[in-house]
Amino acid sequence: MKIGVIIFPGSNCDEDCVDAVRFGMKETVVKLWHNQDDLQNVDAILVPGGFSYGDYLRTGAIARFSPVMQAVAEFSLKGGPVLGICNGFQILTEAGLLPGALTKNTSLRFQCEQVMLTVENTNTPFTRLFQQDEMIQLPIAHGEGNYVIDPEDLKRLEDNHQVVFRYQQDVNGSMNRIAGVCNEKGNVVGLMPHPERNLFENTDSPLWNGAGAQFFESLKSLLAAVT
């Protein structure tokens, strides 16, 4: 199987995602530049974190118009698995592939810390190996992770079980403490925390318990089942 990692001018978590595929999943990885529209027949797409196009206008607003994102939109409409992490999540909401929007943290600070999350939906390509309501610890690093959505859309989101991850405590002001969501089909997932930064367990450190590895193992198990 072949996993694509999108690279925008300003992406800085792309190599972490590449490593997650190469050393975590032990699968083939393809780097896809923002200005190309050929996804090279990859089986899944990772939209990594960092920044894109200076995040001018709004975070993720410009990236959405890049050729590669047009191709990603088509790929997702056909049911292809897409994971957006941090800035990748912001881009997917701006592109309309995920509901809602991400705005400034209520703290007005760039927040860089470990958070506890509940996995609330295990019917996505990236969460299928988690237990329902499993608690995991992942790092966050963002200034604009405050998830906002219309009240009616929020209700629909909750009713459809599209909230995939929820912070256990308020972190950035997100409505209903939402940390990550999926689209209606469940094939597109976005979250603010960084699973690719917590891939391996290190018993000497409380920061490293390998919770992020399950994202990539989930994807691998799904693709192995269908291919």
106 binds other proteins, rule: CB under 8 A: yes
* Cα separations in angstroms, 144 against 19, 101, 157, 181: 25, 10, 20, 16
Sign of the CA dihedral 54, 59, 61, 66? Answer: positive
Q: How far apart are CA 13 and CA 50, in angstroms?
A: 6
Site for other proteins contains 156 (CB under 8 A)? no
Minimum distance between the CB of residue 131 and other proteins, rounded to whole angstroms?
A: 32
3-state secondary structure 159-192: HCCCEEEEECCCCCCCHHHEEEEECCCCCEEEEC
CB distance 140 to 212 below 8 Å: no
Contacts of other proteins in 179-218 (CB under 8 A)? none
- Residues 18 and 40: their CA atoms lie apart, in Å, by 16
Provide long-range contacts, Cβ within 8 A and 24+ apart, for 155-159. 157/99, 157/100, 157/181
Q: Decide whether 2 or 58 has the Cβ nearer to other proteins.
A: 58
In the complex, the smallest distance separating the C-beta of residue 61 from other proteins, rounded to whole angstroms, is: 7
Residue 173 engages other proteins in binding (rule: CB under 8 A): yes
Instruction: Tell me the closest approach of the beta carbon of residue 101 to other proteins, in angstroms.
Output: 4
| Complex with other proteins: residue 5 or 157, whichever CB lies closer | 157
Residue 73 contacts other proteins per CB under 8 A: no
Q: Does 66 bind other proteins (CB under 8 A)?
A: no
User: Using the rule CB under 8 A, is 70 a contact of other proteins?
Assistant: no
Is residue 150 within the footprint of other proteins (CB under 8 A)?
yes
What is the residue type of 135? Answer: M
User: Is 105 near other proteins (CB under 8 A)?
Assistant: yes
User: Minimum distance between the CB of residue 206 and other proteins, rounded to whole angstroms?
Assistant: 30
Positive or negative CA dihedral for 43, 211, 190, 69?
negative
Query: Is 170 a residue that touches other proteins (CB under 8 A)?
Result: no
Minimal distance, residue 148 CB to other proteins, in Å: 5
DSSP-assigned letter for residue 131:
P
- Number of residues this chain uses to bind other proteins (CB under 8 A): 20
The footprint of other proteins (CB under 8 A) covers 57-58, 61, 65, 93-94, 100-101, 103-108, 146, 148-151, 173
